[in-house]
């Protein structure tokens, strides 16, 4: 006696859902590459600090305490205190949200504008390609950090202007990647099939070509997140970024640099280590994201 109706021969069995297959692929990539799994775990820790940092910081990051000036790391102050008696661990935790927020906003802005311009340039060619390419070449002609300094100095050192400056200097990377990928695929077989099916040029570009250029663009996003964090910290280090007493990694490194000679190494050491780990994390995420998103790597 059978448990249920038999499936007639010749009728294919429905495959697993796309979400389940994607999750299996993600687990496979993480299991095969422990370094990628570690990078994602580190990114999750940073994301948790960025979202909940103000609530989990053990002390007020802005509260000064003259009795606790330049105290070394201890059981009470794990990262020590700075020249105003502020808890460095609390300031590092709260600064995570600001640095990640600026980097994410800048990268999202440059990704949206740069990918759209590059995709249009690669697909339509002609004068659109020439104008977009010359714009990217003009930005790349300047030292990028110097260009960011000039933009922030001209507009004022506010968080919004740091985001705009970082987005502008990152535009050429997305323009070039998107243009090259679309230019290679614009005459591919699936594009011709979509065109013969009656799809408009804009629909082909948005729904058929653009999803296929996401793997290399996602790698670029991961790298740019690290560069954007470094750019914001660098601007703050030279006095053109976030204004004190706002907790920010670059400011904290700059404030502690003058105390290294006198032996108070912890003031700049711990913010610098966290900054290094954040950039290192995003550099490692690139390959993992490519393996997860690229359809050609799915088995």
One digit per residue, the tens of pLDDT, for the chain of length 299 reads 444 444 444 444 444 455 566 667 667 666 667 777 888 889 999 999 999 999 999 999 998 888 888 899 999 999 999 989 999 999 999 999 999 999 999 999 999 999 999 999 988 888 999 999 999 999 999 888 999 999 999 988 888 999 999 999 999 999 999 999 888 888 888 888 888 888 888 888 888 888 888 878 888 888 889 889 999 999 988 888 888 888 999 999 998 888 888 888 999 999 999 999 999 888 888 766 766 665 555 55
Residues 136/176, Cβ–Cβ less than 8 Å: yes
Report the alpha-carbon distance of residue 158 to residue 100 in Å, rounded. 16
Residues 94/57, Cβ–Cβ less than 8 Å: yes
Answer yes or no: is 24 within a domain.
no
Answer yes or no: is 185 within a domain.
yes
Answer yes or no: is 74 within a domain.
yes
Answer yes or no: is 289 within a domain.
yes
- Total number of residues shown for the chain: 299
Containing structural domain, residue 238? 30-297
- Of 206, 220, 214, 200, which is closest to residue 120 (Cα–Cα)? 206
Answer yes or no: is 233 within a domain.
yes
Token pair 């640095």 in the structure block, residue: 99
Answer yes or no: is 25 within a domain.
no
Q: Which residues contact 221 (CB under 8 A, 6 or more apart)?
A: 107, 111, 289
Number of domains in the chain: 1
Answer yes or no: is 115 within a domain.
yes
- Of 278, 265, 298, which is closest to residue 102 (Cα–Cα)? 278
Whole-model pTM over 0.85 = no
Answer yes or no: is 162 within a domain.
yes
CATH code of residue 79:
1.10.3720.10
- Report H helices in the chain: 18-32, 34-56, 88-124, 126-140, 144-155, 159-185, 189-196, 201-203, 214-237, 249-257, 266-293
């Amino acid at each position: 006696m059978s448990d249920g109706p038999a499936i007639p021969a010749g009728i294919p069995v429905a495959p697993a859902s796309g979400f389940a297959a994607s999750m299996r692929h993600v687990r496979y990539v993480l299991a095969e590459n422990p370094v990628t799994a570690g990078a994602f775990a580190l990114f999750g820790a940073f994301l948790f600090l960025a979202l909940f940092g103000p609530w989990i910081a053990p002390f007020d990051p802005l509260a000064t305490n003259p009795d606790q000036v330049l105290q070394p790391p201890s059981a009470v102050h794990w990262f020590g205190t700075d020249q105003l008696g502020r808890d460095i661990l609390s300031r590092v935790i709260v600064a995570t949200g600001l640095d990640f927020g600026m980097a994410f906003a800048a990268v999202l802005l440059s990704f949206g504008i740069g990918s759209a311009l590059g995709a249009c340039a690669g697909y339509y060619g002609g004068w659109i390609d020439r104008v977009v390419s010359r714009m990217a070449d003009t930005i790349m002609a300047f030292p990028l950090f110097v260009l960011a300094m000039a933009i922030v100095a001209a507009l004022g050192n506010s968080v919004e202007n740091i985001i705009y400056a970082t987005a502008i200097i990152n535009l050429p990377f997305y323009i070039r990647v998107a243009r090259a990928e679309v230019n290679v695929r614009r005459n591919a077989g699936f594009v011709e099939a979509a065109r013969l099916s009656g799809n408009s040029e804009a629909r082909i570009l948005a729904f058929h070509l653009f999803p296929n250029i996401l793997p290399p663009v996602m790698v670029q996003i991961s790298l740019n997140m690290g560069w954007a964090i470094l750019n914001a910290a660098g601007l703050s280090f030279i006095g053109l970024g976030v204004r004190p007493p706002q907790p920010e990694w670059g400011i904290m490194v700059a404030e502690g640099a003058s105390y290294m000679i006198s032996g108070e190494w912890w003031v700049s050491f711990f913010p610098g280590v966290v900054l290094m780990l954040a950039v290192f994390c995003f550099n490692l995420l690139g390959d993992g994201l490519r393996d997860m998103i690229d359809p050609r790597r799915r088995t």
